[in-house]
């Protein structure tokens, strides 16, 4: 995989949008949304999370503290040019976004959560594999229903098709020990977006997030279909407009 880069667009706006990509993915997830929001006049930043955008071996060398540092550094960098920060987290990027909101004591203006995992498809089965044969195997290969291309050095790849077992255990532990116990500490406005038949994350994750945050201003948007990567869906323009409306409403 050709090394991926962060996205940073300075529009000299008081509103800055911090975009946090998903686990094993890259800021390329936000290519279209970043342009859309920048064209609306907002400054946009999508940092690359430690261990991502290169190869799975680099991911194995990192852990939750490294991932937290990546998003915290991205937040502080964006704060230098924008006084009002909105967070958009895609998949596990939203879980890191929740951590960031708590780390900064609900300072961000609002958060957009897109397909955040609380409960995954085959959640217990995957955990069982991780803590049995996964203790002696190095990597976990994503099911073909999720990732249909064998791993090669394609320059346009935006996600790893294999995950170090150690990193996947860190992922599940973060959700269990960081996200779930602390959702009730989130009280800023929140937009929860979720595919109603997501083939990776169980849709009840969105309901769980919506019901457990303390935010008074909250919206939930159900996206039709099985796609987990809803920002690349053919109806993504509709989603982008929903996000833009939410930002305007809470700015």
In a domain, 2, yes or no: no
Strands 7-9 and 43-46, bridge-based pairing: antiparallel
Cα(173)–Cα(123) distance, rounded to whole angstroms? Answer: 12
In a domain, 34, yes or no: yes
Report how far Cα 167 is from the mean position of its chain's Cα atoms. Answer: 16
In a domain, 188, yes or no: yes
In a domain, 131, yes or no: yes
Domain that holds residue 40: 7-250
Cα(206)–Cα(202) distance, rounded to whole angstroms? Answer: 8
In a structure prediction context, what are the per-residue pLDDT tens digits for the chain, which is 251 residues long?
A: 456 789 999 999 999 999 999 999 999 999 999 999 999 999 999 999 999 999 999 999 999 999 999 999 999 999 999 999 999 999 999 999 999 999 999 999 999 999 999 999 878 777 877 778 656 677 877 765 554 433 333 344 467 888 999 999 999 999 999 999 999 999 999 999 999 999 899 999 999 999 999 999 999 999 888 888 888 777 889 999 999 999 999 99
In a domain, 111, yes or no: yes
Q: What is the DSSP string of the chain?
A: -PPP--EEE----SEEEEEEPPTT--GGGGHHHHHHHHHTT-EEEEPPPTT-SS-HHHHHT--HHHHHHHHHHHHHHHHTT-SEEEEEEETHHHHHHHHHHHHTTT-SSEEEEES--SSBTTHHHHHHHHTTGGGT-SEEEPPTTT--S-----TT--S-SEEEHHHHHHHHHHIIIIIHHHGGG--S-EEEEEETT-SSB-THHHHHHHHHS--SSEEEEEEPSS-S-GGGSTTHHHHHHHHHHHHHHH-
In a domain, 1, yes or no: no
The total number of structural domains in the chain stands at 1
The CATH number given to whatever domain includes residue 153 is 3.40.50.1820
pLDDT at 155: 42
pTM reported for the whole predicted model: 0.91
| CA trace torsion 55, 47, 209, 181 (10° rounding) | 80
In a domain, 70, yes or no: yes
Nearest to 198 by CA among 118, 121, 86: 121
């Amino acid at each position: 995989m050709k090394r991926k880069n962060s996205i940073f667009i300075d529009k000299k706006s008081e509103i800055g949008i911090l975009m946090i990509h998903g686990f094993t993915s890259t800021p390329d997830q936000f290519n279209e949304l970043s342009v859309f929001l920048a064209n609306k006049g907002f400054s946009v930043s999508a940092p690359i999370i430690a261990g991502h955008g290169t190869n799975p071996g680099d991911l194995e060398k990192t852990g939750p503290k490294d991932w937290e540092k990546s998003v915290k550094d991205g937040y502080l960098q964006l704060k230098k040019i924008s006084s009002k920060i909105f967070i958009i987290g895609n998949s596990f990027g939203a879980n890191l976004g929740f951590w960031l909101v708590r780390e900064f004591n609900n300072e961000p203006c609002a958060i957009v959560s897109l397909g955040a995992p609380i409960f995954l498809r085959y959640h217990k089965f995957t955990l069982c594999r991780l803590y049995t044969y996964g203790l002696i195997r190095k990597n976990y290969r994503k099911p073909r229903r999720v990732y249909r291309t064998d791993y090669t050095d394609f320059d346009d790849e935006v996600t790893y098709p294999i995950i170090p077992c150690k990193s996947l255990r860190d992922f599940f532990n973060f959700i269990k020990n960081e996200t779930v116990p602390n959702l009730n500490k989130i009280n800023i406005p929140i937009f929860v977006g979720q595919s109603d038949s997501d083939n990776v994350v169980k849709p009840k994750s969105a309901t769980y997030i919506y019901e457990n945050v303390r935010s008074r201003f909250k919206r939930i948007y159900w996206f039709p279909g099985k796609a987990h990567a809803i920002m690349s869906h053919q109806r993504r323009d509709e989603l982008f407009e929903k996000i833009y409306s939410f930002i305007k409403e809470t700015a």
